[in-house]
Amino acid sequence: MEKIVITGMGTVNPLGLTVEETWKNIKNGVSGVGPITRFDTTGWLAQIACEIKGFDAAQYMPAKEARRRDLFEQYASAAAQEALQDSGLEVTPKNAGRIGVLVSSAMGGLTSLQDAIFTLKDHGARRVSPFLIPMLMANGASGLIGIDHGIKGPAMSVASACASGIDGIGLAWMMLRSGMIDAAVTGASESTVTEIGVAAFDRIGALSRRNDDFSMTPAPFDKNRDGLVMGEGAGILVMETESHAKARGANILAELAGYAATADAYHVTAPSSEGAGGAEAIRQALATAQVNSDEVGYISAHGTATPLNDASETKAVKAVFGERAYKTPISSTKSMTGHMMGATGALETIFCVQAIREGVLPPTIHYETPDPDCDLDYVPNVARDAEVNVAISNAFGFGGHNAVLVVRKYR
């Protein structure tokens, strides 16, 4: 079967407004955590987040158009522009129907929905924006990217909680393999740093509350981890069949070699304690890529810094890799970007591509105290030089959704 390759990448996230800026900060172990500035958190138990800094939607679209888009749609549009420019893929009337847009979101336009509810309560129904529906619908980013660039192939969004980004990329991968399309703009976008978003995640006990000393949080896999820190942003890939990319002389960055998804069927928020569902997703993804576990040189962990997730993911990796697990580097870049919900898996896939291209493993920062339940090589605190031919990206979401991608050096 024909290879599916990655030819372009784009991102907007708490560590940068481009792939280059973001990757530089990842390698340097920069933290994106800080006090929430979007709203007053006085009296809140969780008061920190990884917010995007310096983003100006008017640099990517007319100001009038930006006002009609939720933040998650603005982020997706900006990242898609970078990815398409990076790929050099030109959309024409001839090929527009052979290109798909599969940009996912777990939460959709949460910012716009919340603002509209405040408006409804304070000013009545007639003041609610007529643009609210396209601003809040989870498929809004896919639709708008298609409109922006004249892309007329399949356009849709996958909603599978924190696995949304990887599932969307996986669906694009399957469409490309089936011959339905020749190229795809895919990934995910999220903007959940809102009053309702932060309050809701804090109420289920998921958020770190180290408000006064946030210099060491989130701390994935550390014994003293106390929860995730919410992030925001988008990660977008341009993917193509190998023959399509080669025919137009594209610069191929890496091969997307495998994908799999499973469900825990266990609990709506908690992962299976033994990590069985995650393990099966990893196992199946490696099988689709025809890759042995001993070929994997890097694992991009889901690594949320919640007590249950990190222990469960560690068990999942051990179940698949056996003794090899102790020799396979695994790290969580959420220690720097925060948890961008559905978008994080897409961004972390970009980091897998960069690790393969540059031979650098992203660190897990804020790692101080080893946890007996998390005893693997988490690339603590400092990036590491290492040759990587195969990397995997894990995403395990609420609802028991597990999704895994396999990225391979292109030959």
User: Residues 177-195: pLDDT tens digits?
Assistant: 999 999 999 999 999 999 9
pLDDT above 90 (res 271): no
Q: Which of 55-64, 101-110, 193-202, 270-279 has the lowest mean pLDDT?
A: 270-279
Residue 339 annotated to the active site? yes
Write the CATH number for 14. 3.40.47.10
% of the chain residues with pLDDT over 70? 100
Contact indicator for 182, 241 with CB cutoff of 8 Å: yes
Other Cβ atoms less than 10 A from the Cβ of 399: the count is 19
Q: How confident is the model at residue 37 (pLDDT cuts 50, 70, 90)?
A: very high
d(CA 346, CA 354): 13
Q: What is the mean pLDDT of residues 113-137?
A: 95
Compute how many other C-beta atoms are within 10 angstroms of the C-beta atom of residue 203: 11
Q: What's residue 138's pLDDT?
A: 95
Distance CA 86, CA 128 (A): 38
Least confident of 157-171, 269-283, 312-326: 269-283
Residue 68: give the domain boundaries: 1-411
Catalytic residue among 149, 244, 302, 401: 302
What is the Cα 223 distance to its own chain's centre? 25
Q: Is 229 within 8 Å of 208 (Cβ atoms)?
A: yes
Cα separation, 136 vs 286, in Å, equals: 36
Q: Where are the alpha helices (DSSP H) in 124-187?
A: 132-136, 140-149, 164-178
The encoded tokens of residue 386 equal: 């290492």
Identify the three-state secondary structure at position 294. helix
Q: 207 near 360, Cβ under 8 Å?
A: no
Indicate if the pLDDT at residue 270 is higher than 90: no
Q: Reply yes or no on whether 162 is catalytic.
A: yes
pLDDT 10s digits, 183-226: 999 999 999 999 999 999 999 999 999 999 999 999 999 999 99
Confidence check: pLDDT of 383 > 80: yes
Share of the chain above pLDDT 90, in %: 96
Q: pLDDT at residue 368 above 80? A: yes
302 tagged catalytic:
yes
CA distance 388 to 353: 10
Whether residue 218 is preceded by a cis peptide bond, meaning omega within 30 degrees of 0, is yes
Distance CA 167, CA 396 (A): 11
**What value does the mean pLDDT of the chain take?**
97
Least confident of 77-91, 219-233, 268-282: 268-282
Q: From the CA atom positions of the chain, what is the Rg in Å?
A: 20
Read off the pLDDT of residues 9-26 as tens digits, 9 standing for 90 and up.
999 999 999 999 999 999
- When pLDDT is averaged across residues 31-55 and rounded to a whole number, the result is 97
* DSSP letters for 12-23: EBTTBSSHHHHH
CA distance 225 to 218: 7
Residue 398 is predicted with a pLDDT of 87
pLDDT in tens, 288-310: 999 999 999 999 999 999 999 99
Give me the amino acid identity at 152: K
> Where does 251-343 have alpha helices with state H?
276-289, 307-321, 334-337
A 10 A CB-CB count for 205 gives 13
pLDDT of 268: 85
Q: Is the pLDDT of residue 273 over 80?
A: no
pLDDT given at position 1: 86
- As given in the structure block, the two tokens for residue 217 are 């949080």
Beta carbons within 10 angstroms of residue 293's beta carbon:
17
CA–CA distance, 391 with 75 (Å, rounded to integer):
26
Q: What angle, 0 to 180 degrees and rounded to 10, lies between the N-to-C axes of helices 344-358 and 19-27? A: 70
Tokens of 255: 């091969």
Task: Provide the whole-model pTM.
Answer: 0.97
Coil, strand, or helix at residue 397?
strand
From the list 162, 244, 366, 374, the catalytic residue is 162
- Tell me the angle at which helices 110-123 and 71-87 cross, rounded to the nearest 10 degrees: 150
* Residue 307, both tokens: 């007590």
Give me 256's structure tokens. Answer: 């997307």
Q: How many domains is the chain built from? A: 1
What six digits make up the tokens of 119?
């408006």
- Residue 331: strand, helix, or coil: strand
Choice among 50, 149, 244, 339 that is catalytic = 339
How many angstroms separate the CA atoms of 241 and 280, rounded? 27
